[in-house]
Structure formats: C-alpha cells, structure tokens
Chain A
Amino acid sequence: MKIKSLDIIEFGGLKDLSLDFSEGLNIIFGKNESGKSTVLLFILYMLYGLPKSSKRSGASAYDKERSLSWDNRRAEGKMEISCDGRDMVIYRLNAPRVSKTEIYDKQSGKPINFSREIGEELLGLSRESFESCCWCGQLRTGSISGEHISKTLSNLTVSGDESIDAQKALSLLRAARREYKHERGSGGLIPQLEREIAEERAEFTRLGFDLDSANHERAQTAAWEAQLASAEDALTKASLARDMAGTLKILSEFDELDDLVARELSLAQELQMLDATTADYKTTPTEQDIESLRFLKKTHAQRKDDLDAIVNAEKYSARLDENAISLAKKIDERGGREEFISRLETMKNKMSQTKLFGIALSCAGALLAVTAAVFFGTLAIFVSLICACLGALAASAACFISSGKAKKAFDEYLSSLGLAETGYLSQIERAIAQYDIYLAERQRLTDLEAKKKLAQDALDFALGEIEQKLFSFSADKKEAPLEALDGLILELSEYFSKRKKLCGELSLANVFATRKREELATYDRGALQKSLPNEISRENIDVSRLDEDYKRCLAQRDNIKNQLYELSLSIERIKPKIERRRELDIDVDEKELLLEKYKREHAVLDLAYSALEEANSRQKSNFAPKIRARAGEILSSLSKGRYSGVILDDEFEVSVEQHGASRAAGALSAGTADAVYLSLRLALIDSIFASDAPLFLDESLSQLDSERASDAISLLSDFVSNGNQCLLFTCHHREASICTQQAIECNYVKLDS
C-alpha cells in the first residue's frame, strides 16, 4: 500500500492541509509544533478511525483528544492511496453525533465495501500491530534509561511490539492468580474462603445439635401447649362454674323442689296403696283399735294367768303332807288348836319354874358358903363349898323331878296325838306349823275355788270381747282368735307404722316443698337456665368444691405455664444460636457462590497464564530468531560491520555482537541503541510483510551521528527500493541534505508552522 496524498480538512490543530507523497522515500520536514505527529496521527485515523476508548485507555484517550479539532471537535479528511495497482480514496468524518467513513475507487467513484477496518483490510494488521510494526515514533530512544531501552528492544524482538512486555504480562497474570490462590502454601482468596466455609460448616453442624434441641423443646412446648389449652379450658369452666355458683345453686334448688314434688307424689301414691291393703276390713281401723286389741290381748292373758295361778295353787295344795292333815284333824278332835297351845304353854311354864328354883337354891348355897368363909376362915370355906354343892344338888334334883312330871303329862298328850315317838319341841313346833298351814290351805282352796270361777268367767269374757273385735275387722278369724288377734295387731301395727312414716314423710316433703316454693317464688327458672353457658355442668353446684376445682385447675394451668416458661427460656437461650445457624447457612451459600466465582476466575487466569506462557514460548522459538537474524544483518550494514549481529539471551536481554563479544543494549550509546531499534523495526517489516507496507519514522534518526544517519538514509533507500514506502518526519534539514549528498531520490515535503 502506498499513500499518495493527504487532504486534511480539519484534524487536531491542522486545517485545510494537503500533502502529496511519492511511493518511495518521503522526508517531511517541519519545525517543532508544525504538526508532524498530527499528520502521522491523521494517517492512522484514515486507516483505522479514531482510537477506541477501551484500548490502552490512557494513550488512546490522548490520541483521540489530539485527533479532534480544537475549536469544534471535528475530524475530517481524505487520503488517497494506491494498493495492488488500484487507486482509492478514503474519506472520514467524525463530529458530534456524526460519524462517516467512505472508501471508493478513485477512477470509477464507486464505493468499496470492507467488512473490517480499512487498515486491517488493506494491511492485514490491527491498529496495534500496525502501530507496533510500522510506526517508529518520537522519543523511542531519547533520554530514557538503558534498562528501558533494553526492555523496548527485548519486547520488539520477542513479542513483536515494543510495548508488549511478555514478562510483565505473565507477572500480572501470576499476581492476579495469586490473589485467588497461591501456588504454594495456603494463601489467596480461595483457600481463605474454603477455610471460612469449612469453619462455618463445622459451626453450622455444631449448631445443628442446638437446633435439634430447640426442635425437641418446641415439640415439648407444643405438647405442653396442647395441655395448656385443655387446662385453660378447664380453668375457664371452673371459673365460670364458680362465678355461676349462685345461679347454679338456685337452679339446683329448683331441682330440689322438683325432687320434693316428685317425692310428694310418690309418697301419696304409696299411702294410697297402703290404705288399699285395709279395704277388706269391715270397719275403718284406727290406732286406738290397736291399743284396744292389745288391751284385750293383755286382759285375756291376765285372765289366763290368773286362772293358771289358781289352777297351780290348787295343784300345790294337793301336795300337802297327809300326816299333817291327820294331825290337824286329831288336834281339832282334842280341843282344837287352842287347847294344844295351852297345854304346850303350861308344860313350858312348869319346866321353866323348876329350872329357876334349882338356880335359886344353888345361888343360896353359894351365898351361904361365902358368908361362912368370911366368918369362919378356910375350913369354913371348904365346908361351905361342900354345903353349897349339896344344896345345889338337892335343888336340882327337886327341879328335875318337877319338870319330868310336867313333861310326862305333855308327852302323854302328844302320844294321844300320835306324836310321841317323834321328837320333842321341834315336833311340836312343826305340828303347830303344819296345822296352821293346813288351816290356811283349806281356807285358800276355798278362796281359790271362788276365784277360779271368777277368773274363768273373766277369761271367757275377755275371749268373747276378742272374738267380737276380730269379727268387727274380719269374719274369717274365729278359728284361732288369739293368733288372729296377734296377726291383726301386727298387721295394724305395720300398717299404721308405715302409714305414720309415709304421712310424716309426705308432710315433711310438703312442708319443704312449700317452703322451697316460697323461697323460689321470685326467680324465673327459665331465664336463669338461659343465662348459663352451655359448658357449665349443673352437677358442680357445690361452691366449695367448685372453688377447690378452680384452685386445682389454676394450679394445674400455672404449672403448665411454668413448664412452658422454662421451655421458652431454654428456647430463647438457643434462639441466637439458631439465628446464627441460619445466618451461617445463608453465609455459606453466598460464600460457596463466591467460591465458585473465584474458582472460575482462577481457572480463567490459569488458562490465560498458560496460554500467554505458551504463546510467549512460541514467539521466542519461532518469531524472535528470525527478527534477530534479519536485524543483525541490517545493523551490520548500518554500522558498517562494527556490530555483526543482534543477540537475545536466555533472560530475553538484547545485546549486540561486536568482534565476537556481546554488548548489552542497555549499555549502548543512544545512537547505537536507535540504530539497533531501527534495525529491529526494519527487520520486523521485512519479516512480517510480504506486501509493501509503509514505514513511518518520526524523528528516528535524530539521535544518530551524521555518519550513521547517512548510513541509515542509505538503508532506507534500499528499503524503498524493494517497493516499500517510507515517510520520515524530521525537524532537521540533515536528512534532506544527506539525500542530496548521496543523490538518493526523495520527496521533500515541508510543513509550515
């Protein structure tokens, strides 16, 4: 491709500037700030448009700023080129809200359609490649460090672009990769995040036990709450029951009244049934009837007893001693009882008088003895005693004889009575007693006989009365009147007992019912009933029991509440842990997403790094040797053999070969470095382009001495002689002079400042 002319309408600081170029060497002269670099930028604009803001942001922004006109921010111009024998015109316009690019055939005026940027289409190079290859700008080797020079040359040699530092790029990727994960050790975001996730997972698992515990306690809570519900229910009922006790009490009294009325009715029916049992009586029985019957029974029994006593008394009399009766009869025959007593008394008196006379004689003898003793002494005592004894003895004998006679007479009398051979006084006493008994018995029997009759009459009368009474109740009770009487008495007793009881109960029921009615007269039972809640049990009307129930329910409820409170405290204690677990869960999820992102980033960086490393390695092995060889040739020519080659060592440091030795590029003079740089640039164009790519030099020879500048011009002359176009921008006249001196054909273009 050859640039034939430029028509700058408006671009940067330039306006309405037209420049024509030859197809060979063009030297564009201009003083500082005359617009040389702007012209170069215009050519770039024509081929590639305005720089994209994304690319090398700083430089591109700067270039873009330089491209737009200062007053109205426009860029507009034309460039005529020749490519493969075809002349074409490129037109571009960039203004606010306007962007226009045209390329057309100069001869036909027909537009030419390119799918890519014009530069890419024509040169097969991207803007960057074009710049790095064909562009040799200002200040490449000016006042910059040797290290930078070395690096620039190294970049140019290895990557083909002086701005591309492969080592730096690899280092950047390594650093970025290390941010995520260090090659060695456990540093980096990924291991850190993995550690955090592992720790949080462990904590999450640990807290799982607390969750289980909380779940268990919640289950317990649920169970207790179910119990609480029924306890509350019971408490409500108990409370209501207690509160409604008054109503319940009244209602229960109504119930009691019902019971009493029912009782009254029942008792009345019972009484009626009882009275029905006496229906077959001929007379209506009264309680006096029972007394009367009992009296009759008693009277009859007494009469019977009386009669029996009389009969028994008669029986007793029959057992009297026959001897006594015989004796009694004999006593009666011999003067009777008075005579017998008289005789007995007489006999007793006589016997008593005899005894008394004997005693008197004894006492007289004793008195005589004592008197004699007093008057006559001991002998006298003796004599007296004998006299006394004798006197007593005489007296006794006299008495015995006297009493014996009386006794004999009485014994004879007794004998006549038949009592002689049986004892003495006892016999007499017994006989007298027997006789008295006999007399009494005889009189008693006589009385008994009379009484027996009377008793029998009375008994018969009593029985008659009984029969009459029985008849008055029932005619069928004559066979065994006494049994019937007993039966009737029992029957009537039971009847009246039951009746009395029933009547008493009925009366009581009636009294209670009446009283209850009076008490409840002011209440409306129905209204009270309606006022009660349905759930109130009418059974619980015992206020004290209701109160106890209420207290029991309250205690039960409070106990459950306490349990629930304890559980709630426990759950509350666990709550922060559960909350923490939930946060951990979310956090782990988020971190896992982040980890996934980091891992992907790391994988991307890994791939980028390995691709760059591989590409770099390939560049070094394929591209660098070719550039280095060709550059060596050019440099040798340029330096007239002083430097025989360009060397790239293992560290990618560029050095030059001089007499078999190497000199590091960084240690070269500025001029030599520029020569090396120019060599590499030309080598690059040689190696890359089969076609005729133009070369742009912006003050590239200014650092060279005259001799080397002359050699460089010769080299450029050779370069254009191969069909390439070269545009050399300079602020010196030296390059033009060298061309004139060496008769090198060149197109000299002067830019006015």
Chain B
Amino acid sequence: MIKLFHTGDIHLDSAYSRLSPAEKARAREHERKIFTKMIDHVRREKYALLLISGDLFDSGSISPETERCVLDAFASLECPVVISPGNHDSFLSVPFYSSKALPENVYIFNSPEIQCFEFTELSLRVCGYAFMNNSYRENPLDSFSLPAFSGITVLCAHGELGVPLSTYAPLRESDIEKCNITYAALGHIHKTQEPIRRGGTLIAYSSFLEGRAYDEDGEGGALEVTIDERGAHTRRVCFSEKFYRTETLDVDGVQSSDESLARIKERVEASGYGRETALRLILRGAVPAELVLDTKTPELLFGERLLAFEVLDQTTPLFCTDSLENDYTLRGEVYRTLKPHLSSEDEYERRLAADALRYALLAIDGESIGGKI
C-alpha cells in the first residue's frame, strides 16, 4: 500500500483585481498560509509523494514572499514533489519552474510531450506533461502508449476531461484507461466532484485548495490517495478557513420585502454560518408582479456576521397573476402581451419576459428603471 497526496488549482498570488493593494496583500498572505497548512499535513502524514496537478500559481508573476514560501515548503518535505504546470502557470511563463534554487525533491514536467519520473524505491512512476503557454489544444494522450513498467503508474496532469474542443488539454477517459494508469491526478476543474472509476483506473480532480470566489463553492481541499492491491481510493482533506457558498432560498409567495427579509434572516440564522463563510443567497420563486424585492437591506443587516453576504433576486413576478390577468388597465394589457413569453418553454425567454414585466410595471408606476433588476 502506498499513500500519495494530490492537490492542484491553488492559484497562489491570485490577481484579486477588485481588491485594494492592502486587501490584495492580505488575501495573498492567507493563500500562502493555507498552502503551508497543506504542506504541514503532507509532512506530518508522511505521504510517499506529493502531486500538484497544475495552477500552483495564478500567473507567472510571483511575489518574492510566495516564491520563498513555496521553496521552503518543498524543502521541508522528505517526499518527492511532482508538478505539472497548468494553463495559469505554464512552464515558460513561470521562471520559478526553471530555477536552480528548487530543492532536489521537486520534479517538474517541462515538455508538452508525455514524460515520466520513476521512483524505484516506491515501485512507482509519475507521468505527465506541461502546459508551455496558456493553452494546449491537443490531447497529449491521443494515440500515445506508455512504455511498459512493472510498478504503479500515476498520471499527474492539467486538462479538461471529456471536452474534445477544449483549449486546455482535452483528455479522454478512454485514453487514460488504456495507458494502464492506476490513478489520474487531474487539475483544472475547480468544482468539487466525485472521482470517476474506469476499469482499474481512478480519475480525480483535486478541486481548489480554498475558495477565492463564489464560483469555488464549498470546502474544496485536496485528495489523499491510497493505492493498494484493490486499486486507488481517495479521501478528501480540507484546509479551508473560509468558504464561499451559494444557496437558494425559496421566497415563493412573499408579499413584501419585509417578508423576504424575514425568510432571509431565518435562513442565515439557521445556517450557523459565521465570519468564515461568504454566502450568496439566490432568491427563487414567484412573487407578486409589483413587488421588487429589496436585496440591499439584508446584505447590510447580515453582512457583518458573515465573511461576505450577497443576495441575488432571481424571483419571477408571477405570483397570483389572476389580478393582472383581469386588470383592464394598461398594467393588465402589458401582462397579457407578455404572457406567451412568460409561459415559454425556454427558461431564458421566461426569465427575460419576467424581468421585462417587472420593468414595464415599474415604468407604469413611474419609477426609474436603472439598477432595479
């Protein structure tokens, strides 16, 4: 039995273009802290190998603090570290990868072709490739077969699985399977998902190490990989200290912003989230056509107790539309005009029509339109 650790998509020194320089520096320092926490775990648990499946850095511009942190981290490990440069930290764009200051236990793929590092004492080899710049249109495993090897073969790569036209190394499950790979440590897809078992091969994305925005939902983390005679198995290990969560709240039938505020409050209080969680709450359901929900007040009210709080109104103005249906005024006529769109099978058209109805009703009420939706 052998135990490996698989991480990736860490994106150290992220751009954080919307943050001020001081906030940006704090955010980057926090990234380094989580990275170091992960390294401490790897050292403590004495894994045989650390696999980094791309995008260790967010770009080629690496701050000296980050470079020092990564070098110290790698040097503190007894196990080998294998890095497959990804589209964000392609081999040529990151001088760090060519640095001679790298500790001896760090192995970096430096070619777009498949390369293998053999670790005879582990009876294991790690194969992979490098993004040389920010895109890679070919499937590196296409029509490729690995040379025979008596031990375990692990793939460490950055790429997109099952998207043939992807510009980020489009990989196929079948290609990975046919190469007799026991474990494919992939990076690029941030969304946390279950590993895929294909024959004797286990294919897994490590997910992000810690969320940086609402598109990195949940706990993220990295994978502890155990390979034994039964094959490879993974266990997710979380290092996050802050979490981005996107949840929906059904406010169907609310008659006022006060009612929706009460429901939002109830949800936030029941969630038990605190300063570690950034919450995006999407309001769903049908509300009266004339109701424009107030999303700013709850953000102000509950933003303090959370890391960040965002309320998105995705309700439809279709609650109890009978009154509109029977409305003889222009208001009813507008509703009736939009009705075919509102009952369209196309979700996009339905939402568009719902918002158009809201706008039209606002305009009829003589209210200004800007920023209402």
A contact residues vs B (CB 8 Å cutoff): 52-56, 115-117, 120, 124-126, 128-129, 132-133, 158-161, 163-166, 168-170, 172-173, 175-176, 179, 211, 214-215, 218-219, 221-222, 225-226, 228-229, 232, 571, 575, 578-579, 582-583, 586-587, 590, 600-601, 603-609, 611-612, 614-616, 618-619, 623, 687-688
Residue of B288, B338, B358 with most chain A CB atoms under a 10 A cut-off: B338
B contact residues vs A (CB 8 Å cutoff): 15, 17, 59-61, 92-93, 95, 98-100, 133, 255-258, 288, 290-293, 320, 322-324, 326-334, 336-338, 341, 352-353, 355-360, 362-370, 373
With A129-B332, A615-B334, A616-B330 known to touch, is A53 a contact of B258 (CB < 8 Å)?
yes
Residue of B100, B322, B330 with most chain A CB atoms under a 10 A cut-off: B330
Choose one: A56, A117, A603; the contact of B352 (CB below 8 Å). Answer: A603
| Chain B residues closer than 8 Å to A133, beta-carbon distance | 328
For the complex of A and B, the 6 pairs showing the least CB-CB separation, nearest first, are A126-B323, A176-B369, A615-B333, A159-B330, A222-B98, A607-B356
A611 touching B360 by the CB < 8 A rule?
Answer: yes
Residue of A170, A179, A226, A607 with most chain B CB atoms under a 10 A cut-off: A607
Choose one: A56, A179, A587, A604; the contact of B356 (CB below 8 Å). Answer: A604
| Chain A residues closer than 8 Å to B327, beta-carbon distance | 125-126, 128-129
A52 touching B288 by the CB < 8 A rule?
Answer: yes
B15 touching A161 by the CB < 8 A rule?
Answer: no
| Chain A residues closer than 8 Å to B353, beta-carbon distance | 607
| Chain A residues closer than 8 Å to B367, beta-carbon distance | 172
Choose one: A116, A158, A601; the contact of B322 (CB below 8 Å). Answer: A116
Q: Could you write out 13 A-B pairs with CB less than 8 Å apart? A: A128-B329, A164-B330, A176-B370, A211-B93, A219-B92, A600-B352, A604-B373, A605-B369, A607-B352, A611-B337, A611-B357, A615-B334, A687-B328
| Chain A residues closer than 8 Å to B291, beta-carbon distance | 52, 54-55
Choose one: B98, B257, B292; the contact of A221 (CB below 8 Å). Answer: B98
B255 touching A52 by the CB < 8 A rule?
Answer: yes
Residue of B whose beta carbon sits closest to that of A215: B92
B359 touching A604 by the CB < 8 A rule?
Answer: yes
A589 to chain B, nearest CB (A): 10
B100 touching A52 by the CB < 8 A rule?
Answer: no
A55 touching B363 by the CB < 8 A rule?
Answer: no
For the complex, give the distance between the alpha carbons of A120 and B290 in Å.
15
For the complex, give the distance between the alpha carbons of A357 and B365 in Å.
197
| Chain A residues closer than 8 Å to B332, beta-carbon distance | 129
A608 touching B356 by the CB < 8 A rule?
Answer: yes
For the complex, give the distance between the alpha carbons of A55 and B333 in Å.
18
A615 touching B292 by the CB < 8 A rule?
Answer: no
B330 touching A608 by the CB < 8 A rule?
Answer: no
B274 to chain A, nearest CB (A): 28
For the complex, give the distance between the alpha carbons of A229 and B102 in Å.
12
A170 touching B324 by the CB < 8 A rule?
Answer: no
A173 touching B61 by the CB < 8 A rule?
Answer: no
For the complex, give the distance between the alpha carbons of A696 and B352 in Å.
39
B266 to chain A, nearest CB (A): 15
B360 touching A159 by the CB < 8 A rule?
Answer: no
| Chain A residues closer than 8 Å to B356, beta-carbon distance | 604-608, 611
A220 to chain B, nearest CB (A): 10
A159 touching B98 by the CB < 8 A rule?
Answer: no
With A52-B288, A607-B341 known to touch, is A169 a contact of B366 (CB < 8 Å)?
yes
Choose one: B133, B257, B324, B358; the contact of A126 (CB below 8 Å). Answer: B324
B326 touching A125 by the CB < 8 A rule?
Answer: yes
A129 touching B100 by the CB < 8 A rule?
Answer: no
Choose one: A54, A129, A172, A219; the contact of B323 (CB below 8 Å). Answer: A129
| Chain A residues closer than 8 Å to B359, beta-carbon distance | 173, 176, 604-605, 608
